[in-house]
């Protein structure tokens, strides 16, 4: 596997916004330009970054929704994450420490899978998901804190039998990056500051990405992808 060298945190804000972060990340992935690449953004914040990556690489763009599994103690305390097609990551330590029952866990998984399917369908506007098999798939988010949703996303993509799975984020914690190295074929993360703060700390503008923005980005990408397909 090939991953970026760890770099120190040079300033309080590494990126102006997600667009700039995407431009920086795209240059780290330029070697994939011209290959059969599918870029998948994790909504919502990962999609503007993925859009920049796909534009620079001239690659197809789509999404993969990974939903956190909230614990009985607090919805913000994640037991893991799950995707629409059942790809999942479970934090066994949290589940054991909180003594989460199997019934509660299975209900949470089923509920979030349904939500993930609904969000993917809504974001795509009824368009079918693109093929994954034998392609290079680059999964993009705006950062890695715990890495739970990204690990679920990687496992989900694996089910489609891609040729290669690359995890690409502008910034991430060293701990999460180490965990993703065991999941992906390649990790690209140019900034791995220590200590790691919340992802938003590294962006001057970390405003929420709205559903309508995700839909717009995907719609425009789909039009470009359709236009460059050969007639017939």
Average pLDDT in the 20-26 region?
Answer: 98
Q: Would 113 be classed as within a structural domain?
A: no
Q: What is the pLDDT of residues 140-190, one digit of tens each?
A: 999 999 999 999 999 999 999 999 999 999 999 999 999 999 999 999 999
Average pLDDT in the 21-25 region?
Answer: 98
Q: Would 114 be classed as within a structural domain?
A: no
What is the b/e burial string over 124-133, where b = at least 16 CB atoms within 10 angstroms of the residue's CB? beeeebbebe
Q: Which residue has the tokens 């700039």?
A: 20
Average pLDDT in the 76-88 region?
Answer: 90
Q: What's the total number of domains in the chain? A: 1
DSSP state for residue 13 in the 8-state scheme:
-
Q: Would 199 be classed as within a structural domain?
A: yes
Tell me the average pLDDT of the chain: 91
Q: Would 214 be classed as within a structural domain?
A: yes
More confident residue, 63 or 71: 63
Q: Would 117 be classed as within a structural domain?
A: no
Q: How high is the pLDDT of residue 231? A: 58
Give backbone dihedrals phi and psi of 164, rounded to 5 degrees, phi first: -155, 140
DSSP state for residue 65 in the 8-state scheme:
-
DSSP state for residue 1 in the 8-state scheme:
-
Average pLDDT in the 106-121 region?
Answer: 95
In this predicted structure, the answer to whether residue 3 has a pLDDT above a threshold of 70 is no
Could you give the 3-state DSSP secondary structure of residue 186?
A: strand
Q: What is the pLDDT of residues 164-173, one digit of tens each?
A: 999 999 999 9
Q: How high is the pLDDT of residue 9? A: 42
- % of the chain residues with pLDDT over 70: 93
Tell me the C-alpha distance between 162 and 23, whole Å: 25
Q: Please, which contacts does 102-110 make with residues 24 or more away whose CB atoms are closer than 8 Å?
A: 104/72, 105/69, 105/79, 108/69, 108/70, 108/79, 109/69, 109/82
Q: Residue 47's domain is classified under what CATH number?
A: 3.40.50.2020
Q: Would 172 be classed as within a structural domain?
A: yes
8-12, 54-58, 192-196: least confident range: 8-12
Cα–Cα distances in angstroms (integers) from residue 60 to residues 4, 77, 139, in the given order: 23, 34, 12
Its pTM stands at 0.90
Is the CB of residue 39 less than 8 Å from the CB of residue 164? no
In this predicted structure, the answer to whether residue 232 has a pLDDT above a threshold of 80 is no
Q: Would 75 be classed as within a structural domain?
A: no
Q: Would 9 be classed as within a structural domain?
A: no
What is the helix (H) or strand (E) element at residue 114, kind and residue range? helix 102-124
In this predicted structure, the answer to whether residue 2 has a pLDDT above a threshold of 90 is no
Q: How high is the pLDDT of residue 78? A: 84
Which residue range(s) make up the domain with 209?
18-66+129-227
Q: How high is the pLDDT of residue 10? A: 45
Average pLDDT in the 63-72 region?
Answer: 93
In this predicted structure, the answer to whether residue 4 has a pLDDT above a threshold of 60 is no
Q: Of the candidates 35, 144, 34, which has an alpha carbon nearest to the alpha carbon of residue 154?
A: 144
Average pLDDT in the 96-101 region?
Answer: 94
In this predicted structure, the answer to whether residue 214 has a pLDDT above a threshold of 90 is yes
Edge to edge, the sheet with strand 136-140 lists: 60-63, 37-41, 136-140, 164-168, 186-188
Cα–Cα distances in angstroms (integers) from residue 165 to residues 129, 162, 197, in the given order: 17, 7, 27
């Amino acid at each position: 596997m090939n991953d970026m060298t760890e770099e120190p945190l040079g300033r309080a804000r590494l990126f102006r916004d997600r667009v700039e972060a995407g431009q920086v990340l795209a240059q780290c992935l330029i070697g994939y330009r011209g290959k059969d690449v599918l870029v998948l953004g994790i909504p919502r914040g990962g999609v503007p970054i993925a859009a920049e990556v796909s534009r620079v690489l001239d690659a197809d763009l789509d999404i993969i929704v990974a939903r956190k599994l909230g614990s009985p103690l607090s919805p913000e305390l994640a037991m893991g994450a799950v995707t629409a097609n059942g790809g999942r990551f479970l934090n066994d330590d949290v589940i054991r420490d909180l003594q989460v029952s199997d019934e509660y866990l299975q209900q949470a998984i089923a509920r979030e899978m349904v939500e993930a399917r609904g969000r993917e369908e809504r974001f795509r506007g009824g368009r079918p998901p693109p093929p994954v098999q034998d392609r290079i798939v680059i999964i993009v988010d705006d950062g890695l804190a715990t890495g739970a949703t990204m690990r679920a996303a990687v496992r989900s993509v694996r089910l489609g039998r891609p040729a290669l799975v690359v995890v690409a984020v502008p910034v991430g914690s060293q701990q999460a990056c180490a965990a993703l190295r065991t999941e992906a074929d390649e990790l690209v993360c140019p900034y791995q500051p220590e200590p790691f703060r919340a992802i938003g700390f590294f962006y001057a503008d970390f405003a929420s990405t709205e559903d309508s923005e995700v839909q717009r980005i995907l719609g425009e990408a789909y039009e470009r992808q359709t236009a460059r397909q050969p007639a017939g």
